Chain A
Amino acid sequence: KQEVTQIPAALSVPEGENLVLNCSFTDSAIYNLQWFRQDPGKGLTSLLLIQSSQREQTSGRLNASLDKSSGRSTLYIAASQPGDSATYLCAADQAGTALIFGKGTTLSVSS
């Protein structure tokens, strides 16, 4: 059974800091790895999708990497801003079923 773990569960940083969110998964038979952002009381916004054949994806200040062999993905946020405060969810697209989610990392960026 696929298990997705996100570390840390919560993170507080000052504005301008670069940071890394970690995601690990137990079964490497995945199609994709997708990162989402969720604001309090809101839905999920897709940030980055890394297909199984890719190593990384970039969008603006965000960069996500994928290492299937080690079962790890990271989300790098450069020059963090207060508007980046949210919960970040990692999800592995499990072959034959559906997205399996981690419990998220709640990020707080102070000005």
Chain B
Amino acid sequence: NAGVTQTPKFQVLKTGQSMTLQCAQDMNHNSMYWYRQDPGMGLRLIYYSASEGTTDKGEVPNGYNVSRLNKREFSLRLESAAPSQTSVYFCASSEAGGLGYGYTFGSGTRLTVV
């Protein structure tokens, strides 16, 4: 069972470079999410997509863009990476916005911006 798959697992970027983090789920879930995890800050929501065709900002959206490509895939783009975006990024999915159901997380992408 693949669940939620994130690529890449590790990435080093130079300041100003761009990149896209990929996320795919095979559970036919409606909702998908991007979080970042930083020491002392916990996990914070960047963007989420309640259903295919919709996206909404979370707590820390600045510097990021997202695309819900189809029901399976939800990508996160950094247009001009900054050292403050060094973090571990997690993608998650849930069946119906969490209504009575839990969330499944990917294994994360460790991003370093130098």
What is A's interface to B at a CB cutoff of 8 Å? 31-32, 34, 36, 42-44, 46, 49, 51-52, 89, 91, 93, 96-104
Count B interface residues, CB 8 Å: 26
Closest-CB distance, A52 to chain B (whole angstroms): 8
Q: Is B102 an interface residue (CB 8 A)?
A: yes
A contact patch SS: strand
What is B's interface to A at a CB cutoff of 8 Å? 31, 33, 35, 40-45, 48, 56, 58, 90, 92, 97-108
> Complex formed: what's the CA distance from A13 to B44 in Å?
29
Contacts A43-B108, A44-B105: A99 and B33 contacting too (C-beta < 8 A)? yes
Contacts A89-B43, A98-B58, A104-B42: A31 and B107 contacting too (C-beta < 8 A)? no
Contact B45 A98 (CB under 8 A): yes
> Complex formed: what's the CA distance from A98 to B65 in Å?
18
